[in-house]
Amino acid sequence: MGGTKMMAVVFDDQFNKLAAAKKKTKGNAGAEAGLNRIGETIAAAIKSADLQPEDIAGIGIGSPGPLDLDRGLILATPNLGWRNVPLKATLEKQFRCPVVVVNDVDAGTYGEYRFGAGRKNRCVLGVFPGTGIGAGCVYEGKLIRGRTGSCMELGHFPIDPRGPVADVGRCGTLESMTSRLAISAQAAQAVYRGQAPALQALTGSRLDRIRSGALAQAIAEGDQVIETIVRHAARVLGVAVAGVVNLLAPDVLVLGGGLVEALPKLYREEVQAAIAENAMPAFAAGVKIATAKLGDDAAALGAAALVAGKVK
Amino acid sequence: MGGTKMMAVVFDDQFNKLAAAKKKTKGNAGAEAGLNRIGETIAAAIKSADLQPEDIAGIGIGSPGPLDLDRGLILATPNLGWRNVPLKATLEKQFRCPVVVVNDVDAGTYGEYRFGAGRKNRCVLGVFPGTGIGAGCVYEGKLIRGRTGSCMELGHFPIDPRGPVADVGRCGTLESMTSRLAISAQAAQAVYRGQAPALQALTGSRLDRIRSGALAQAIAEGDQVIETIVRHAARVLGVAVAGVVNLLAPDVLVLGGGLVEALPKLYREEVQAAIAENAMPAFAAGVKIATAKLGDDAAALGAAALVAGKVK
């Protein structure tokens, strides 16, 4: 479940994809309408797989947070404006099967650990730069979590007190300096100055149009200033990731998210260089840097695997 | 085992301290002599407890690293100059009991988790600023570790590329900016400029004499510039710790080490303020900030508890 769309996927017990359904999230219609849409999307996916609700062994949901993981509540979602949404209780009543609610980035990291770029590794760190910066960590087979909710809030890492304003009262977080929005804001200035003709033709200086794909296309078409902006952001992200490598000594770093999907080589190069320069040599040598393999399916697969682990 | 001294403590099965023995480490006498001294210190503690070596159920050792935890090897110690020291194998042969080798900071963190300020908590983050900056984390009852050795190398966190030179090729790590050595280097300059009369009288501008206790005494005697230097370092440390709080959402943060032992109130204040400003509000509210309770005994107790867990 994301800020703009939601997707329900039906898997068999070997995690083969049987069917899927999508809807827009429409967060501003309110939490009750949202809960109904979630139920409808799941029901549509079940129907599309030629199954009945009673055939479903369990439902796993990756959701933006903060969440209460044990009670399966959405406590608040800044993107959707929902508060205290009883996701688990409502869906368990509707579908009469166990429901597991997990942070969306954690679901994606767990999916990559079970089925993708992090398979069979002791410690997998997932870093997903996009509109925000998400991260998750599977350590010895389990997601690292906070007491009641998820953790690994890498985007809120304090980087530079002179950096841009990020949240009320905080400046220079990693997200404020390296998210897709932060990059787009710099790219829009380059367009305004007439330094990025390809991006000018593609999007103009409108922030809402300068998405990861447009940035990648402008770079491919020769906007060098755009490449400099993105490489710089990727390097700053990489320095912060090097710090996390020093803390957790992961075996695999999985890079994913919108920016990495659009520019995988650039991101791998910059993050690798930042880790080589800033992580402990033994930890830098011990971490394999990979790009995510499962794309949009990672979170659905991860959530499905997590609920399967509870059901079996 | 530390860079300057080693201590062996004998505990009964309720972790009551029966006896202890101390020796200087004398790292520059070489690894073989060092191994002999370790054996002698352990034997002296056993004798002092009126016991025989065969009464000992197991030996736990906290050692500076990097280590190979599974094989019980000291791979290298920058402080001692030892390389590939078979600590576990040698002591198991000598004392005929299981030996567990663990990173010294991890041993201290585990000791505080089992018997001190972090007791019975789901996630305990230990941060120990002293000559260097050490950290460890007990997560759901177990130390977080790397593939072969320990991790949580908070001191090597990249903070500011404009910061002082720390290691070959790296500048502005947390340690280069906030360790006792970094603080003492600034304090020595204040002495040189005539701004710190109390510290001048205590130590002069000699870096090797400006230790945590002298800094605390100079502050108590009115050297305001020394207080400013230490508070600034504690705050910068706290901002980095806030980043770790955002990653791991610990339930307890245990502050220890030489600087905190000398200035517990100052460190708690500055780290608390930095966390309040820079951590996610829910994580800042959820973490209890405590000072270590066990002092020098933390590592011995932690190592003993770790080997007891293997023996039972």
Q: Which domains does chain A have, with CATH numbers?
A: 5-103 (3.30.420.40), 117-291 (3.30.420.40)
Query: Which has the closest alpha carbon to B45: B26, B66, B60?
Result: B60
Query: Looking at chain A from residue 217 to 276, which residues have their Cβ under 8 Å from any Cβ of chain B?
Result: 239-240, 242-244, 246-249, 251
Strand partners, A74: A67, A85
> Which of residues A162 and A273 earns the better pLDDT score?
A273
pLDDT digits (tens, 9 = 90+) for B165-222: 886 668 999 999 999 999 999 999 999 999 999 999 999 999 999 999 999 999 999 9
- Mean pLDDT score of chain B: 95
Whether the CB of B156 is below 8 Å from some CB of chain A: the reply is yes
Q: Which amino acid is at B137?
A: C
Average confidence score pLDDT of chain A:
95
Q: Write the DSSP string, A42-54.
A: HHHHHHHTT--GG
ipTM > 0.85 (yes/no): yes
Q: How many CB atoms lie within 10 A of CB B215?
A: 28
| DSSP summary character for residue A249 | -
Q: What is the structure's pLDDT at A170?
A: 83
Q: Of B148, B249, B277, which has the smallest distance from its Cβ to A146's Cβ?
A: B249
Question: Does B280 contact A at CB distance below 8 Å?
Answer: yes
| Alpha helices by DSSP H, chain A | 31-48, 87-95, 104-115, 174-178, 180-192, 197-203, 212-220, 224-248, 258-262, 264-278, 281-286, 297-311
Closest chain B residue to A174 measured between Cα atoms? B243
> Is the model more confident about A187 or about B81?
A187
Q: Does A123 touch chain B (CB under 8 A)?
A: yes
| B149/A278 CB distance under 8 A | no
For B234, the token pair is 């504690």
Instruction: Please answer yes or no on whether A283 and B251 come within 8 Å at the CB atom.
Output: no
**Confidence (pLDDT) at B169:** 67
Q: What does the block give as tokens for A95?
A: 């579908």
Instruction: Please report where in the chains the tokens 């997590």 appear, as a residue.
Output: A306
Q: What confidence tens digit (pLDDT) does each residue in B97-144 have?
A: 999 999 999 999 999 999 999 999 999 999 999 888 999 999 999 999
> pLDDT by residue (tens digit) across B222-280?
999 999 999 999 999 999 999 999 999 999 999 999 999 999 999 999 999 999 999 99
Does A153 lie at the interface with B, CB-CB under 8 angstroms? yes
Q: Is B123 on the interface with A (CB under 8 A)?
A: yes
pLDDT of B81 above 90: no
Chain-chain contact of B123 with A146 (C-beta, under 8 angstroms) = yes
Give the pLDDT band of residue A145 (cuts 50, 70, 90).
very high
| Percent of chain A clearing pLDDT 70 (strictly above) | 99
Any B CB within 8 A of A288 CB: no
**CB proximity A3 to B under 8 Å:** no
- Tell whether the model's pLDDT for residue B56 goes beyond 90: yes
Residue A234 pLDDT class (50, 70, 90 cuts): very high
The per-residue pLDDT for range B190-205, each reduced to its tens digit, is 999 999 999 999 999 9
Residue B168: predicted pLDDT: 64
Inform me whether the pLDDT recorded for A168 exceeds 80. no
* B 31-70 residues with CB < 8 A to A: 66
Give the confidence band of B47 by pLDDT, cuts at 50, 70, 90: very high
Rounded average pLDDT over A86-99: 97
Partner B contacted by A283 (CB < 8 A):
yes
Contact B126, B111 (CB under 8 A): no
Q: What is the pTM of this model?
A: 0.94
Distance from CA of A249 to the nearest CA of B (A): 5
What pLDDT, on the 0 to 100 scale, is given for residue A169? 67
Q: Say yes or no for a CB contact (<8 Å) between B151 and A283.
A: yes
B125 interfaces chain A, CB cutoff of 8 Å: no
Name residue A83's beta-bridge partners: A76
A25-29, A109-113, A282-286, B244-248: segment of lowest average pLDDT = A25-29
Residue A312: predicted pLDDT:
67
So what's the pLDDT on residue B80?
80
Mutation site, A74, A280, A288, interface B, largest B CB count within 10 A: A280
- In angstroms, the separation between the Cα of residue A75 and the nearest Cα of chain B is 11
User: pLDDT-based confidence at A260, cuts 50/70/90?
Assistant: very high
Cα–Cα distance, A72 to A201 (Å, whole number): 45
| DSSP three-state, residue A195 | coil
> What pLDDT, in 10s, does the model give residues A192-216?
999 999 999 999 999 999 999 999 9
Name chain A contacts of B277, Cβ cutoff 8 Å: 169-170
Within 8 A of B153 by CB-CB distance, chain A residues are 246-247, 280, 283
**A282 to B149: CB separation less than 8 angstroms, yes or no:** yes
> Is pLDDT of A54 > 90?
yes
User: For chain A, what percentages of helix, strand and coil (3-state, to nearest 5) are there?
Assistant: 45, 20, 30
Size of the A and B interface in Cβ pairs below 8 Å = 94
